[in-house]
């Protein structure tokens, strides 16, 4: 029986010793390291995408700086003001020429007298014979004209300024229109009317040209 006890003691000792060694080396150190890492399944974190959209708006506030730097660069634009006054002078002279020229009440264009050269001396005689009775000596006194708006026949010296033009040919046409076709003055029933010397053949074209030259000479 003693041999058997020894054997048991040896076995027991060996068992304890072996157990101590194994535990001292970290136990089952060789087995566990190959099992831990493969657990990658749980990190399925899908719901984390929802809370992000509430971050964008706060980036708009700091844009208050630029508006104060723009205006100072626009101030020095007084240049156009100096261009305006240079344009007006060219428009003013044309406005003065818009005054309406006196025209006879009877229609018709210029007659053949307008293209003839008038003689002042000959026109002086024509005027004395045909015009003085209504327009006065040298055209200075208009005859009274009841029923007309003006009350008198117009004077021819000085003559209506709108009939005189810088271009003498234009002035001749202006007077010829009255002498060719005549004219009835404004008013209910004017007694005196400008005679249509051309249309009524009371004066020849040359006589009309002559008396026109005379009237123009009275106004120079």
Answer for which of 116, 175, 209, 216 binds ligand HEC (CB under 6 A) is: 175
**Residue owning tokens 């327009």:** 135
Measured between alpha carbons, how far is residue 49 from residues 46, 52, 53, 214 in Å?
Answer: 7, 6, 9, 109
CA separation for the pair 184, 126 (Å, rounded): 22
Mark the segment that binds ligand HEC (CB under 6 A) among 3-11, 48-56, 88-96, 126-134: 126-134
Binding of ligand HEC by 193 (CB under 6 A): yes
Residues in CB range of 118: below 8 A, 6 or more apart: 172, 206, 209, 210, 211, 212, 213, 214
Measured between alpha carbons, how far is residue 175 from residues 100, 207, 210 in Å?
Answer: 15, 13, 12
Site for ligand HEC in 48-67 (CB under 6 A): none
Binding of ligand HEC by 177 (CB under 6 A): no
Binding of ligand HEC by 156 (CB under 6 A): yes
Mark the segment that binds ligand HEC (CB under 6 A) among 32-40, 70-78, 108-116, 171-179: 171-179
Site for ligand HEC in 84-113 (CB under 6 A): 102, 104-105
Burial of 152 (0-12, 13-18, 19+ CB in 10 A): middle
Q: How many residues does the chain have?
A: 220
Answer for which of 133, 146, 151, 158 binds ligand HEC (CB under 6 A) is: 133
Size of the site for ligand HEC (CB under 6 A): 25
Query: Under the rule (CB under 6 A), what is the footprint of ligand HEC?
Result: 102, 104-105, 130-131, 133-135, 145, 153-154, 156, 160, 175, 178-179, 183, 185, 192-195, 197, 211, 215
């Amino acid at each position: 029986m003693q041999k058997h006890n020894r054997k048991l003691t040896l076995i027991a000792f060996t068992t304890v010793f072996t157990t101590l060694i194994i535990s001292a080396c970290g136990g089952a150190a060789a087995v566990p390291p190959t099992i831990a890492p493969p657990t990658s399944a749980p990190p399925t974190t899908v719901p984390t995408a929802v809370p992000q959209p509430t971050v964008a708006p706060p980036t708009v506030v700091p844009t208050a700086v630029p508006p104060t730097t723009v205006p100072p660069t626009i101030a020095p634009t007084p240049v156009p003001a100096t261009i305006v006054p240079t344009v007006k002078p060219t428009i003013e002279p044309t406005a003065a020429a818009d005054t309406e020229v006196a025209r006879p009440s009877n229609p018709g264009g210029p007659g053949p007298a307008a293209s003839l050269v008038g003689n002042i001396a000959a026109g002086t005689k024509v005027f004395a014979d045909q015009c003085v009775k209504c327009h006065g000596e040298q055209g200075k006194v208009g005859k009274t004209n009841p029923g007309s708006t003006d009350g008198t026949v117009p004077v021819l010296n000085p003559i209506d300024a709108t009939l005189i033009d810088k271009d003498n040919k234009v002035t001749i046409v202006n007077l010829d229109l009255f002498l060719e076709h005549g004219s009835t003055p404004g008013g209910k029933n004017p007694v005196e009317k400008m005679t249509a010397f051309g249309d009524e053949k009371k004066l020849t074209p040359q006589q009309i040209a002559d008396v026109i030259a005379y009237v123009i000479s009275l106004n120079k």
